[in-house]
Chain A
């Protein structure tokens, strides 16, 4: 079946540090891949996505590249800010499927 595995949190960094949150997936077919972010007290919102191999999704300084050979979609940001503190979810959707399969989420805290 389809599944997503994220690096376990929580992750705590200082402001301006480099961020990587690992995500690997197992899927039949050719999935689309997503990163969602959940700020405190809010619902999830789409951060970025990639729909085919070697695509790079980017938004708000975050990037992730769809790597089919390693079945990965790691999230990176070169310089994090306190406002990036949130829970980040990696997810996939297979072609024709409507359901999103989410990873367990990674809580990120950025200290000033």
Chain B
């Protein structure tokens, strides 16, 4: 089955610290997406990659956020420096090879970030 593994599942840090969230697809894919979920703003697309290349990063809130995909098996989302308003659940998702073009995404379980 298509899917992703995210780590850490929970992160508590202090304002100003660097945060790195990780995503590891466990199946073939063409595209990888980073979403942020908050009570106030719902589910927001931050950035997505096609074949490891960033295609649309218009949802990245500011320069403190950066994302990389060095290879097809790994992606990171980094926040430096972190702020309390970055507290959210961050999801990674992929299009499976067989579901590309259908709109179906496979989500990880998310990384819950709390910035104090």
The interface of chain A, by Cβ under 8 A from chain B, is 32, 34, 41-46, 49, 51, 89, 91-93, 98-100, 102-105
List, sorted by A's number, 13 A–B pairs whose CB atoms are closer than 8 Å. A34-B104, A43-B108, A44-B91, A45-B106, A49-B102, A51-B102, A89-B43, A98-B31, A98-B50, A98-B100, A99-B45, A100-B45, A104-B43
| Docked CA distance A72–B56 (Å) | 28
Distance between B97 CB and nearest chain A CB, rounded to angstroms: 14
- B105-116 interface code vs A (CB 8 A; 1 in, 0 out): 111111000000
Of residues 18 through 59 on chain B, the ones whose CB sits less than 8 Å from some CB of chain A are 31, 33, 42-43, 45, 48, 50, 55-56
Q: Indicate which residue in A46, A49, A51, A99 contacts B56 across the interface (CB closer than 8 Å).
A: A99
How many cross-chain pairs have Cβ atoms below 8 Å apart between A and B?
Answer: 50
Which residues of chain A are within 8 angstroms of B103 by Cβ–Cβ distance?
Answer: 32, 34, 49, 91-93, 100
Q: Separation in Å of the A97 CB from the closest CB of chain B?
A: 8
Q: What total of chain B residues lie within 8 Å of the partner, measured CB to CB?
A: 22
A-B contacts besides A34-B104, A51-B102, 10 pairs, CB < 8 Å: A32-B102, A41-B109, A42-B109, A44-B93, A45-B106, A49-B103, A92-B103, A99-B33, A99-B45, A104-B43
Which residues in A have their C-beta under 8 angstroms from that of B93? 43-44
Closest to A34 in B: B103
Q: Which residues of A contact B42 (CB under 8 A)?
A: 102-105
Q: Are A102 and B43 in contact (CB under 8 A)?
A: yes
Q: Quick one: closest A residue to B43, CB to CB? A: A102
Residue on B nearest A104 in the bound complex, by CB: B42
